[in-house]
Structure formats: structure tokens, C-alpha cells
């Protein structure tokens, strides 16, 4: 994969898409072979690579008892970003300001998904790893995600995403990679 | 260094905020601990001498049981909805996460112990005379409980059997803390000269050993959790 490239990872259920994304994020140990992410050997430089990677999976990666802004403050500052970065990401993701002081548990699935995306975006990762990024979102939310992926790629970030919504996904991807039975075709 | 301390503070504030929002320690664990004190009082009340002699041990047994409940809750929250994965990707130093969590646990346990001390004074008719010694014993024991508890809490965080496994792993390990803190409290309550410092020394060694161990081990624990 190259800088500024958006790559769609497609394949049937159980093909290994999520596992591959987690391997690239350094969340699943490499048991054989080598994985090079952002030009570095993941086995030897896992911590350094992780700091430059953003991931959105099936889980929201949010604390349900904290409010939206408290979550964003924590995750943005943990990554060395500022509170303003977190709030800007919320605005960009279209999270209404009236929701900011609500605990995450009070949000709908789609709203949580947007907040989760905002917590990833505010870190300004160089590699975006997205597992079904459009899942649970309304039409407007899906459009925003597409725009964000395109914007990220335009400033040099690389996007690898898995999706079953092929019509939409192929429309924004520069390239498609198929995986089946754990093997990339 | 300032960045590292800021990371510890970030985790500390987040954990305390989570507790304030959920009110598990204040709303559930604290009443449980006070209830245990009541039950001990009812069980031993016919013989006031036994209650007086047993007060230090009953106090620390109650603290240990309550600490297990707080630890289970703290690490269950981290296992929810992929948060552990997010922590791995966060850029926070694992040792800073550990020290932040230990700090938050220490704050919660000290609040619990303060309330229990009032409960003991009222229910068991105990007078706290050697207050300086008692405070030092409580501080060193609490840090030891929090540090060892954070290690084992992380170890069992993602296990389905964590609710039953954590006490089985942790309580035997905390036997030296229970013994030392109980002896230290006995000496403090009797206001005896000397003796108490050796127990504080033992508790401090335990606490420092587990702080150091946790700072080193938390990275692999976080990876395997």
C-alpha cells in the first residue's frame, strides 16, 4: 500500500479481514512471517507503529459511563492531541452539541459510531484501519465517513477498510484486495 | 518526565470520573463494607471483649473484600467494548496506565477506609489513639493492595471467570498485608511505643515491590489481557 491510497479489503465472512486489520494495528501477535507497517517492522517497533495507526472496529472503544466530551478529552490527550482537536472532530463527524454532555450509554448506535470515529480522527493517524466503517450509520453519516477517508488520503494518510457494502466502498476505494480463507488473492 | 506524569494524571482523573459517574464504589461497595461491619458487630456483640480484640482484623478483612469488588469493577470497565484495544493503541505508556490506575484505587480505598474507621469507632466503640501510626499503616497497606490488585485485575480482565478468579488469585497474595496491617493497627490502637514501625516497613516493602513489578509487567499484561 502507498501513502494516500484507499484500499478496500473484501471477502466473505470469516475470511480474515478483521484479523488482518488487527494484525496491521499490532493488536494480534504475528506468529510467522513479517509485517511491515508504515515502513517499520511491526514485531520490533510495535509501540511506535501503534501511535501512528488509527483503528475503528466493531467495538466503539469508548467508556459508556463517561460523557462524549470526557471520552474525546481522554483519548485525544492520550494520543498527544488537544481538547480542541477532539471537539473539532466531533463537529466534523456531525455529532450534535446537545449530545456532548451525555454519557455514551445514552447515545444511539449511530451516534456512538460517530463519536468513536471522532476519537480516532482527532489523533490524525497516518494509517486508518476501518472495519465496516459504514455499519450502523445513516445516509448522512456514511457520506461524512466517505468524505473523511478521501480527505485523509488527500493529505497522505493511507486507508485500509473492510466492507460488505461493495457498491459504496468500490466507489471510494482506489484499489480492491480480496481475501479468502486467510489468503490475499 | 512531565509528559509521563501527565499520562498518570490523565488515567487517574479518568478512573475517578468513571467512579463518580457510575457510583459503584460509593453506592454499592461502601454500603456492603458497612454492612459487613454491622454483621460482625451482631455476631460478636454478646462478648464485647472479643469484638475489641478482633477490631483490627475485622477492619482489614472488610477492606480486602471491598477492594476485590472495586478491582473487579475497575477492570471490567476496561474490558468493555474494546477499550483495552484502544488503550494499547492510545500511545499511553503501560507503566503510566498502571500507576494511574493504582493512584485511583488508592484514593477510592482511602475513602472507604475513612468511612469504615468511623463505622468501627461508632459500632465497636473503639478509640483511635495512635493516629499517626494508624494512618501510616493504612497508607502503606492501601498502596500494596492497590498495586498487587491492579496487576491481578489486569491479568484476569478479559477472562469470563474473572469475577471468581480474581479473589482466588488475590486474597492469598494479600495475606502478608492483612497480617501486617492488623498487627500495625493493634499496636496503634493500644498506643504502644515502638513495634509498629516494623510492620509499616514490611507493608512498604510489599507496596514498593508490587509497584515496581506492576510498572515492568503491565506492558505484557496489557498485551495478553
Task: Say whether pLDDT at A173 is over 70.
Answer: yes
Residue carrying C-alpha cell 468500490: A170
Instruction: Tell me how crowded residue A147 is: count the other CB atoms within 10 A of its CB.
Output: 12
Query: What is the rounded average pLDDT of the residues A20-37?
Result: 88
Report the pLDDT value the prediction gives residue B47, as an integer from 0 to 100. Answer: 63
* Chain A environment of B85 (Cβ under 8 Å): 25, 27, 55, 57, 59, 61
Which ipTM score applies to this complex? 0.86
Yes or no: say if B153 and B69 are a contact pair by the CB < 8 Å rule. no
Asked if residue A92 has pLDDT above 70, the reply is yes
Give A23 to chain B, closest Cα distance, Å.
Answer: 12
Q: How far apart are CA A46 and CA B185, in angstroms?
A: 47
Interface contact A55-B7, CB threshold 8 A: no
Please indicate if any CB of chain B lies within 8 Å of the CB of A19. Answer: no
- The model's confidence at residue B225, banded by pLDDT at 50, 70 and 90, is low
The pLDDT, as a whole number, for residue B193 is 62
User: Residue range A81-106: average pLDDT?
Assistant: 92
Mean pLDDT along residues B201-225: 90
Q: CA of B81: which chain A residue's CA is closest?
A: A59
Which residue of A27, A65, A119 is in closest CB contact with B88?
A: A27
User: pTM for the complete prediction?
Assistant: 0.90
Closest CA to A63 of A53, A50, A73, A51: A73
Is residue B90 less than 8 Å (CB to CB) from chain A? Answer: yes
Q: Are A90 and A118 in contact (CB under 8 A)?
A: yes
Query: pLDDT at position B35, please?
Result: 93
Q: Quote the CA–CA distance of B27 and B19 in Å, as a whole number.
A: 10
Q: Which domain holds residue B220?
A: 2-224
| H/E stretch holding B126 | none
- pLDDT for the residue B25: 79
How many folded domains does chain B comprise?
1
Interface contact flag, A103 B89, Cβ < 8 Å: no
Number of H helices, E strands in chain B: 10, 0
Q: Mind listing the pLDDT tens digit for each residue in A122-147?
A: 989 999 999 999 888 889 999 999 99
Of B125, B146, B132, B141, which is closest to residue B183 (Cα–Cα)? Answer: B141
Q: Among B108, B147, B97, which residue's Cα sits nearest to residue B20?
A: B108
What are the tens digits of pLDDT across the range B43-56?
Answer: 887 666 788 788 99
| Interchain contact, B91 vs A64, CB within 8 Å | no
Q: What is the pLDDT at residue B132?
A: 87
Higher pLDDT, B126 or A74: A74
- Residue A46: per-residue pLDDT: 86
A135, A74 Cβ separation under 8 angstroms:
no
Q: Answer yes or no: do B90 and A59 touch at CB < 8 A.
A: no
Amino acid at each position: 500500500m502507498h501513502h494516500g491510497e484507499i484500499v478496500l479489503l473484501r471477502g466473505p465472512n470469516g475470511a480474515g479481514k478483521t484479523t488482518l486489520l488487527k494484525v496491521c494495528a499490532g493488536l494480534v501477535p504475528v506468529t510467522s512471517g513479517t509485517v511491515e507497517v508504515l515502513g517499520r517492522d511491526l514485531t520490533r517497533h510495535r509501540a511506535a507503529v501503534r501511535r501512528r495507526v488509527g483503528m475503528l472496529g466493531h467495538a466503539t472503544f469508548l467508556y459508556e459511563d463517561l460523557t462524549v466530551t470526557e471520552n474525546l478529552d481522554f483519548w485525544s490527550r492520550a494520543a498527544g492531541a488537544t481538547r480542541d482537536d477532539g471537539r473539532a472532530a466531533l463537529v466534523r463527524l456531525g455529532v450534535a452539541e446537545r449530545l456532548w454532555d451525555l454519557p455514551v450509554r445514552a447515545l444511539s448506535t449511530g451516534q456512538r459510531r460517530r463519536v468513536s470515529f471522532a476519537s480516532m480522527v482527532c489523533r490524525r493517524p497516518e494509517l486508518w484501519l476501518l472495519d465496516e466503517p459504514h455499519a450502523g450509520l445513516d445516509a448522512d453519516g456514511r457520506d461524512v465517513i466517505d468524505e473523511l477517508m478521501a480527505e485523509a488520503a488527500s493529505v497522505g494518510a493511507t486507508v485500509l477498510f473492510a466492507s460488505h457494502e461493495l457498491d459504496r466502498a468500490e466507489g471510494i476505494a482506489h484499489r480492491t484486495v480480496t481475501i479468502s480463507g486467510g489468503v490475499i488473492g | 518526565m512531565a509528559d509521563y506524569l501527565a499520562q498518570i494524571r490523565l488515567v487517574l482523573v479518568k478512573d475517578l470520573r468513571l467512579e463518580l459517574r457510575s457510583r459503584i464504589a460509593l453506592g454499592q461497595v461502601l454500603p456492603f463494607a458497612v454492612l459487613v461491619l454491622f454483621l460482625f458487630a451482631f455476631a460478636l456483640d454478646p462478648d464485647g471483649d472479643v469484638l475489641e480484640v478482633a477490631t483490627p482484623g475485622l477492619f482489614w478483612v472488610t477492606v480486602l473484600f471491598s477492594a476485590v469488588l472495586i478491582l473487579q469493577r475497575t477492570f471490567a470497565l476496561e474490558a468493555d467494548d474494546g477499550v483495552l484495544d484502544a488503550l494499547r493503541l492510545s500511545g499511553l505508556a503501560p507503566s503510566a496506565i498502571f500507576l494511574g490506575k493504582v493512584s485511583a484505587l488508592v484514593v477510592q480505598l482511602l475513602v472507604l477506609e475513612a468511612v469504615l474507621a468511623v463505622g468501627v469507632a461508632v459500632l465497636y466503640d473503639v478509640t483511635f489513639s495512635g493516629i499517626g501510626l494508624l494512618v501510616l499503616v493504612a497508607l502503606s497497606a492501601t498502596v500494596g493492595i492497590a498495586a498487587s490488585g491492579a496487576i491481578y485485575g489486569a491479568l484476569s480482565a478479559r477472562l469470563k471467570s474473572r469475577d471468581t478468579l480474581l479473589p482466588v488469585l488475590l486474597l492469598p497474595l494479600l495475606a502478608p498485608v492483612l497480617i501486617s496491617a492488623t498487627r500495625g493497627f493493634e499496636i496503634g490502637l493500644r498506643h504502644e511505643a515502638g513495634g509498629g514501625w516494623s510492620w509499616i516497613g514490611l507493608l512498604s516493602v510489599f507496596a514498593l515491590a508490587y509497584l515496581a513489578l506492576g510498572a515492568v509487567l503491565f506492558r505484557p499484561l496489557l498485551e495478553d489481557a
